[in-house]
Amino acid sequence: MRNAAIMLIRLIVGLFFLAAGISKIGSPLQTLAAIYSYQIVLPDWLANTIAYSLPWLEVLLGLGLLIGLWLPVFTAATAGLLAAFAILTAQAWWRELPIDCGCIDLSAIHPALAVLSTPGGATLRNLVLLVLCVALLWLMRGKSAKRELHAAA
């Protein structure tokens, strides 16, 4: 049961990050516009660096979760990025900013999923994915403790 939960969480979060990264790779200017829509104070060089590197980071994190190599590291890094995303989308929601969250458009799957591209929906989505990452870290912690017990015996 634990292994199935670990695999399911890895698939959900990993595929989401992989798809999000791939959807942004060919459009760094659109990603830059999404960054500026949050109306946070960033130097232009940093906003440009984020616009060009974020898609590749998302692809790397997604692949790391799917492949399972250095899983605790990739899970913790993904959780950190999701925490930053949640803070950014929550502040945009609070300030009632008309943001383009820069995320994948899930409305192609079903029109009702368009709500996940609003600031409130994006905040909720980021928090759910963050909870999944924390759960994954918790599930893996117990698993590595079992391995250590077996290795010591």
> Which residues lie closer than 8 Å to 120 by C-beta, 6 or more apart?
93
What's the confidence (pLDDT) of residue 32? Answer: 93
User: For residues 118 and 92, what is the distance between their CA atoms, to the nearest angstrom?
Assistant: 10
Position 142 confidence tier, pLDDT thresholds 50, 70, 90:
low
Angle at CA of residue 135, ends 75 and 130, nearest 5°: 60
pLDDT in tens, 53-90: 999 999 999 999 999 989 999 999 999 999 999 999 99
pTM (two decimals): 0.84
What's the confidence (pLDDT) of residue 144? Answer: 53
Domain ranges of the chain: 2-152
What's the confidence (pLDDT) of residue 131? Answer: 97
Tell me the two tokens of residue 145: 């403790």
What's the confidence (pLDDT) of residue 44? Answer: 95
pLDDT at 151 over 70: no
What's the confidence (pLDDT) of residue 45? Answer: 97
What's the confidence (pLDDT) of residue 22? Answer: 94
